[in-house]
Amino acid sequence: MPVLLLTALLTAAGSAAGQDLAQEADSARAAVQQLRQVMLQQLQTSVREVGPAEATAVCRHLAPELAAEIAAETGWEIRRPALKARNPDNHPTELERGVLLGYLTRSLAGQTFEEMETVRLVEQDGRPYVHYMRAIPMLDACEVCHGSNLPSDVAARIAEVYPQDEAVGFRAGDLRGAFSLLRPYDPAKAPEVRGPRLPAVPAGTAAELPLGPPGKLGDPVAGRDLFGRHCLSCHDAGDLSTHLYQLGAEAPRRDVCVFLQTHGLTDEARDCDIVAYLKALSQQAPK
């Protein structure tokens, strides 16, 4: 049976379905965060210890294992489809391809990847499912395996393992692919939301915090929202604030807003907002 949007079901369910889907989206984001965080940590460790060529095994073996574990815990079936796939298993379905093409068009029009998230009800084999997708941007660190000029040992290893590889020629800031999550929809069951939550900005924090560089200010409230969009997938806000700031001591170099290296997804002004949020958290952390 073709995969169809359950427009009629959404219309009939009204705001209740919208609320349910909002909860489903929270649960899906947490599952994505869990997968990304472990994968990035393992990939960085492997690149450091055995080099990029051998580190390709992380994506090949670890991602399916983690996805299976998360599926067992949460019920989410997780895929990473791409228009240009490395693993043939990651070629998109008809439903996924349509969303990916939409993301690609929007990215070429200048939209940021933070806006590229989709959650909707679909029908598959006569049953309703929640389908969630979120764009995956190409980061600087990924160019060694997905860029235009791969090191010879990396290219040889990829050709050996993935003879039908299409996932090269990317530049930082391109659309690399997307996370695609699917699970049965039952509005009677509230989905369990896993993963970290963003700490609130401490009460009494100034609307704008002065930062190290003269004249630099940051909005911690805006920074909290930006952290949730850009950073929560890989970092815990409390841990990062403690790491960047020694409690009770000023560290001006840590206030340099571009220090955060948000991979071009934000500009310097918004980086300053993220810094202000982390600085506000550090000032309330227990000594």
Residue 260 is predicted with a pLDDT of 53
At 268, the pLDDT band (50, 70, 90 cuts) reads low
With a cut of 80, say whether residue 18 has pLDDT above it: no
Q: Which domains does the chain have, with CATH numbers?
A: 4-184 (3.30.450), 209-282 (no CATH)
CA–CA gap between residue 20 and residue 25 (Å, rounded): 9
Residue 15 is predicted with a pLDDT of 38
Q: What is the mean pLDDT of the chain?
A: 78
CA–CA gap between residue 23 and residue 11 (Å, rounded): 18
User: Among positive and negative, which fits the CA dihedral 73, 77, 82, 86?
Assistant: positive
Q: What is the 3-state secondary structure (H, E, C) of the chain?
A: CCCEECHHHHHHHCHHHHHHHHHHHHHHHHHHHHHHHHHHHHHHHHHHHHCHHHHHHHHHHHHHHHHHHHHHHHCCEEECCCCCCCCHHHCCCHHHHHHHHHHHHHHHCCCCHHHCEEEEEEEECCEEEEEEEEEEECCHHHHHHHCCCCCHHHHHHHHHHCCCCCCCCCCCCCEEEEEEEEEECCCCCCCCCCCCCCCCCCCCCCCCEECCCCCCEECHHHHHHHHHHHCCCCCCHHHHHHHHCCCCCCCHHHHCHHHHCCCCCCCHHHHHHHHHHHHHHHCCCCC
Q: Residues 6 or more apart from 51 whose CB is under 8 A from it?
A: 153
97 against 21, higher pLDDT: 97
Residue 251 is predicted with a pLDDT of 47
With a cut of 70, say whether residue 230 has pLDDT above it: no
Q: Are 201 and 220 in contact (CB under 8 A)?
A: yes
The most confident of the ranges 56-65, 122-131, 202-211, 224-233 is 122-131
Residue for token digits 């970092």? Answer: 235
With a cut of 70, say whether residue 265 has pLDDT above it: no
With a cut of 90, say whether residue 273 has pLDDT above it: no
